[in-house]
């Protein structure tokens, strides 16, 4: 299996080019909706769905006939068809909702093999200023962009370029590089169990934990203020758009912060361990079952599924292993004797086994149970929890124990 590695780069462009990009996104959106409509008609008439090739051909035909669609590069038009096809397949496989008309949420274009060109890679910044690498990217039918290359990649390996317009209105580029060869998995020497939670985002089976920084909850005050401002503006007016952008930026910040934190945790774990054991959580179900509104929000804010994706990515990239074990009763099972503590509630922070008297922090016990389920037993059970020492440049996240933090 060849895996694809994707990198995201910040990009800047002139106002004119940005406007062209926005127009193209609208056109792509129109094309998507036209395909959706055609597919619907075909199904009603002949009770069949169109194949990927038919959809691609249809997209190209539409582009030939319609002056407006010619604004798009031909491969980009085909890719719109691919995207629709994939959305429909996911629906047919029962994995997603029916593809819908996209009014103004079509935010990215993909250039598969051609239509783009990277050039003029250079280093800028003198003296004390940190050196930055920049490059020029040309997208056919749109124009030139300046990319900030914050990391190295092999230009010859780039398989496709995706331009995505972010709410803060800086387009970013996703460069996909196919991995040359998957690294062979080494025989794991040491393993760590990670229990995900709300008070402590992650509790490791070695006795360390990471405090949940709750990024959304922290920004909520600001978000609510902007939302109030937004509701007072005239719909679609200039000031309305201004407030809307500010709101989007705030959400973007929360998202970026979260990713950054997750990756840092991933690197920390991957440095020390070969095998990562997680519980197989049904996050969506958890959020829906969340008893109170705050709890639901905190579950959402903790983004367990994204955390898991990030950790997996970091581990797999280094040829290490990730195991997801059944989440059933992990917090109620005793690590020592395997007995079940039926009376344990969400409020109990300490696990006390009614069968053998084993006492341990609730999350630590759960992470040890995970490790045991994966077939690993640690040589020594930590008795105390220790905060993970602060990692550099973590911004507003606080690692470790916060005095007086209430148990959730
Ligand atoms: Zn026990």
DSSP assignment of 152-179 equals ---GGGEEEEEEEE-TTS-EEEEEEEE-
User: Do the beta carbons of residue 179 and residue 191 sit within 8 Å?
Assistant: no
Q: How far is the CA of 357 from the centre of ligand 1 (A)?
A: 6
Higher local confidence (pLDDT), 402 or 22: 22
Query: Which pLDDT score, from 0 to 100, does residue 326 have?
Result: 83
pLDDT in tens, 203-241: 999 888 888 888 788 888 888 999 999 899 888 788 888
Query: Which pLDDT score, from 0 to 100, does residue 171 have?
Result: 58
Higher local confidence (pLDDT), 400 or 7: 7
Q: How far is the CA of 304 from the centre of ligand 1 (A)?
A: 28
Query: Which pLDDT score, from 0 to 100, does residue 194 have?
Result: 92
Q: How far is the CA of 6 from the centre of ligand 1 (A)?
A: 46
Lowest mean pLDDT among 120-129, 149-158, 337-346: 120-129
Distance CA 148, CA 136 (A): 9
Of how many residues is the chain composed? Answer: 408
Three-state SS letters, 221-287: HHHHHHHHHHHHCCCCCHHHHHHHHHHHHHHHHHHHHHHHHHHHHHHHHHHHCCEEEEEECCHHHHH
Going by pLDDT thresholds of 50, 70 and 90, the confidence category of residue 399 is: very low
Does 86 score more than 80 pLDDT? yes
Distance CA 123, CA 163 (A): 23
Q: How far is the CA of 343 from the centre of ligand 1 (A)?
A: 13
Q: How far is the CA of 333 from the centre of ligand 1 (A)?
A: 8
Query: Which pLDDT score, from 0 to 100, does residue 289 have?
Result: 66
Phi/psi for 275 (5° steps) reads -130, 130
pLDDT in tens, 118-142: 888 888 776 666 677 888 888 888 8
Q: How far is the CA of 406 from the centre of ligand 1 (A)?
A: 27
Q: How far is the CA of 332 from the centre of ligand 1 (A)?
A: 10
What DSSP string runs through 341-408? -TT--TT--EEE-TTT--EEEHHHHHHHHHHHHTT---SS---S-EEPPPPSS-TT---S--TTPPP-
User: Do the beta carbons of residue 277 and residue 374 sit within 8 Å?
Assistant: yes
DSSP 8-state secondary structure symbol assigned to residue 123: E
Phi/psi for 315 (5° steps) reads -70, -45
Does 405 score more than 60 pLDDT? no
Q: How far is the CA of 233 from the centre of ligand 1 (A)?
A: 60
C-alpha torsion angle, residues 154, 160, 166, 171 (rounded to 10)? 70
Going by pLDDT thresholds of 50, 70 and 90, the confidence category of residue 149 is: confident
Q: How far is the CA of 346 from the centre of ligand 1 (A)?
A: 19
Q: How far is the CA of 338 from the centre of ligand 1 (A)?
A: 6
Cα distances from 115 to residues 47, 139, 165, 266, 339, in angstroms, run: 37, 6, 18, 36, 62
Q: Output the six-digit token pair for 178.
A: 């196919």
Query: Which pLDDT score, from 0 to 100, does residue 103 have?
Result: 61
Q: How far is the CA of 381 from the centre of ligand 1 (A)?
A: 14
Q: How far is the CA of 403 from the centre of ligand 1 (A)?
A: 30
């Amino acid at each position: 299996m060849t895996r694809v590695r994707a990198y995201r780069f910040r990009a800047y462009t002139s106002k004119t080019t940005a406007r062209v990009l926005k127009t193209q996104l609208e056109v792509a959106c129109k094309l998507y909706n036209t395909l959706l409509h055609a597919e619907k008609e075909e199904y009603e008439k002949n009770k069949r769905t169109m194949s990927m090739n038919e959809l691609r051909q249809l997209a190209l035909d539409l582009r030939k006939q319609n002056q407006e669609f010619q604004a798009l590069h031909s491969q980009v038009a085909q890719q719109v068809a691919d995207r629709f096809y994939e959305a429909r397949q996911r629906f047919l496989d029962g994995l997603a909702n029916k593809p819908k008309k996209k009014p103004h949420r079509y935010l990215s274009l993909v250039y598969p093999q051609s239509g783009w060109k990277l050039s003029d890679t250079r280093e800028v910044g003198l003296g004390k200023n940190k050196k930055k690498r920049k490059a020029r990217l040309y997208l056919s039918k749109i124009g030139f962009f300046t990319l900030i290359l914050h990391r190295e990649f092999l230009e010859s390996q780039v398989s496709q370029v995706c331009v995505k317009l972010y709410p803060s209105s800086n387009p970013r580029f996703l460069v996909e590089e196919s991995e040359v060869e998957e690294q062979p998995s080494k025989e794991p020497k040491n393993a760590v169990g990670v229990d995900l939670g709300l008070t402590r985002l992650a509790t490791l089976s070695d006795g360390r934990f990471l405090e949940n920084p709750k990024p959304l909850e922290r920004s909520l005050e600001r978000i609510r203020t902007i939302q109030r401002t937004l509701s007072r503006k005239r719909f679609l007016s200039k000031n309305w758009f201004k407030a809307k952008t500010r709101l989007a930026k705030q959400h973007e910040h929360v998202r970026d912060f979260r990713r950054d934190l997750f990756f840092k945790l991933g690197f920390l774990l991957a440095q020390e361990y070969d095998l990562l054991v997680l519980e197989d959580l049904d996050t969506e179900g958890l959020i829906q079952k969340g008893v109170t509104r705050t709890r639901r929000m905190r579950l959402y804010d903790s983004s367990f599924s994204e955390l898991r994706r990030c950790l997996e990515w970091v581990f797999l990239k280094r040829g290490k292993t990730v195991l997801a074990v059944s989440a059933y009763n992990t917090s109620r099972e005793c690590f020592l004797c395997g007995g079940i503590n039926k009376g344990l509630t969400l409020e109990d922070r300490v696990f006390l086994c009614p069968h053998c008297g084993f006492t341990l922090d609730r999350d630590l016990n759960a992470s040890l149970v995970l490790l045991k389920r994966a077939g690993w037993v640690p040589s020594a059970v930590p008795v105390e929890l220790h905060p993970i020492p602060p990692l550099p440049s973590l911004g507003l996240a606080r690692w470790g124990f916060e005095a007086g933090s209430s148990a959730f």
